[in-house]
Structure 1
């Protein structure tokens, strides 16, 4: 036998999604999240964000290991030996989102999958709760019901606005805002440094002689969008005009707003667009109106997605490191779950500029 071969380290093995799902269910049962029987398959699939095929394979694994019994009515009863382990400290980290995983941006899906894998390696169970009721202007009742029904050691808030953040702040539940907090909300958060990013973008536009600039963003008081606007204003100062174009995230409304901007007395010659998917709509509509990019107007995407690699002309954009982002969220979530609290500070990660042909 070759000595170098025998001393080589064992290659790391990526845990299968079935095993991760079974582990999540097992830890939730041990923590006493359910009493008597498991919820139905549809609810479990939604909570864990897995397919029914994956869920059934995980349930079969738990039944084989003696954690579950299946009755004649196909209800899965939790074995008594498991139910007595209520004193086990929760190792569940839960994510709350207004949208299911498949409706999130591709980069967010990759980040969440990486986060799930990292948390599993450190012995944590990861759950995803999708609830539009928790993201209304008055979310208290829905949030109270959710956090009581499914307790967790730490909560990750995706796509949250001020009402959700204020509720967690009042209740003093351990949570991490994955994004930016609303002004005056003292919760720990992790996000891209949109203020610095847009200050950099504004500086580039000023350097190229653009005096009338538009910032295209969805409606809603999202902290990252407000930080972006602040960064642009800091870069442009008083000698340049900044027009904020709000839209409801539909292509028709976005085109209507761009048309209004084109007909204004001082139409923008540069567009900074939040959300990568909306960059495509802005560019195609401008070209449909006879605008050449970048000869007549320039476009910068504040965010990046893999599909922007295939545009012609190539889009100038800022790309965050999803792996670094996931590691930062995982580290903060683990500390939050183990210590119960984190300093109410904002962690900001600076993305890199990808130079394209639209600027």
Structure 2
């Protein structure tokens, strides 16, 4: 009788987002991160960077498998479980801090956050996402002390931090990686697009098109990448004494940005070109200029320093600079893994060159 052939090896499978959420919750429960009850759903969504429908499916799966039970007050109680002999001590936690809710992130940043979590989870780390605007204020010490004391982590990833926050991490000698650019006075490892090179190139593009009065639109707040952008623009104009750069620093509101634009247009030498940092202000600038009767690009040019998928649907097509979110996620994940493994990382700035996408607004 012919012997049966052994079954072929099972094909590797890519875990779904629900499966990854189940895995992350189960690991945190098993290692004692939560001892009696899970936090509310909204807090878990922020922490795990998942939508509420995804979270609920994952919670139902854990309830079916006996990890959780729902109390009369609709709280999810962690059921006691016996630890098997030789169980591992759990994964290393890498904490991500952001001033913005995961539910309000732009598609580009949301993709970066999701890709980071996937890469770091595969590398054996647990990723926790903390939304805490107070950590990004001018006086962040109390908020940072509370966050760090309540959430032990082997490494901290900071999404676009400001100087007071970064100086606190340095003073506490905590392993920290900045996803963004540091101010020149702060020395920490960071990964970001090369905004200085992009704006230097943008200045050259506008000069070749005959523009000599250029406005650079930046948010207030002193993020390192915005200082690099201004430096790049000034470098492009330094050998052209007839060229003038006006910096418009807005507070993030539409009303303030429109008021700055109106003041610039009323000046004796109004700008003929605008280079705009961040994606949403690009739409505000273009729509307000057109509302004031300016044709783009016949009367005024607009360049976006940053990219977003929805800019592909605008008309005219916006001239802009883009980096691959997947490439950025790879570089950040690699640096984060090294930081978590060794507790140290060379304090250098990793800069990714953005691709110039010539559109119809110049």
* Same fold by TM-score greater than 0.5: yes
Q: Is the 8 A contact 2:91 2:124 kept in 1?
A: no
Quote the residue 2:3 is aligned against: none
Structure 2 residue matching 1:134: 3-state secondary structure: helix
Which residue is equivalent to 1:209? 210
TM-score, length basis structure 1: 0.90
- Is this contact kept in 2: 1:210–1:270, CA < 8 A? yes
1:320 aligned onto 2:323: yes
SS of equivalent to 1:157? strand
Aligned residues: 352
Q: How does 1:158-307 map to 2 (within 5 A)?
A: 158-237=159-238, 239=241, 240-307=243-310
Quote how far apart the aligned CAs of 1:32 are: 3.3
Q: Give the match for residue 145 of structure 2.
A: 144
Residue 117 of structure 1 deviates from its aligned partner by 1.8
Match in the other structure for 1:50:
50
Deviation larger for 296-305 or 30-39: 30-39
Q: Tell me the distance in 2 between the aligned counterparts of 1:54 and 1:102.
A: 13
Relative distance call for 1:140 and 1:134 in structure 2 (3 A) is: same
Partner of 1:355: 358
> SS where residue 292 of structure 1 aligns?
coil
Q: Could you tell me the TM-score, scaled by structure 2's length? A: 0.90
In structure 1, the residue corresponding to 2:286 is in which secondary structure? helix
Q: In the alignment, which residue of structure 2 is the partner of 1:40?
A: 40
> How far apart, CA to CA, are the structure 1 residues paired with 2:144 and 2:87?
23
Corresponding residue for residue 153 of structure 1: 154
Provide the rounded CA distance (Å) in 1 between the counterparts of 2:84 and 2:95: 21
Structure 2 unaligned regions, length at least 5: 1-7
Task: Output the aligned Cα RMSD.
Answer: 2.4
Say whether the 8 Å CA contact 1:275–1:303 is kept in structure 2.
Answer: yes
User: Match for residue 114 of structure 2?
Assistant: 113
- Once the two structures are superposed, residues 18-44 of structure 1 have per-residue CA deviations (whole angstroms, 9 ceiling, x without a partner) of 211122222223443233433333432
Match of 2:4 in 1: none
2 CA distance for matches of 1:91 and 1:22? 17
Q: 1:36 and 1:95 mapped to 2: Cα distance?
A: 24
What is the DSSP-based 3-state SS (H/G/I as helix, E as strand, rest coil) of the residue aligned with 2:296?
Answer: coil
Cα deviations by residue, 1:88-120 (Å, 9 ceiling, x for unpaired): 264222211111012222211111112222222
Q: Residue by residue, what CA displacement relative to the aligned partner does 1:286-328 show, whole Å, maximum 9, x if unpaired?
A: 1222222112111111011111112222111101111101111
For the Cα contact (< 8 Å) 2:49–2:114, is it kept in 1? no
Partner of 2:5: none
C-alpha spacing 1:170/1:57, structure 2 compared with 1 (3 Å): same
State the alpha-carbon separation in 1 of the partners of residues 360 and 142 from structure 2.
49
Q: CA deviation at 1:144?
A: 1.3
Question: For residues 355 and 186 of structure 1, do their structure 2 counterparts lie closer, same or farther at Cα, with a shift above 3 Å needed?
Answer: same
User: Structure 2 CA distance, aligned partners of 1:211 and 1:80?
Assistant: 70
User: Does 1:133 pair with 2:146?
Assistant: no
Q: Would the aligned equivalents of 1:293 and 1:299 in 2 still touch at CA under 8 Å?
A: yes
The aligned residue for residue 122 of structure 1 is 123
Once the two structures are superposed, residues 220-255 of structure 1 have per-residue CA deviations (whole angstroms, 9 ceiling, x without a partner) of 101110000000001101512100011122222211
Check whether the contact 2:21–2:58 (CA below 8 A) recurs between aligned residues: yes
Give the Cα separation in 1 of the matches to 2:263 and 2:318: 23
CA–CA separation in structure 2 for the residues paired with 1:300 and 1:48: 35
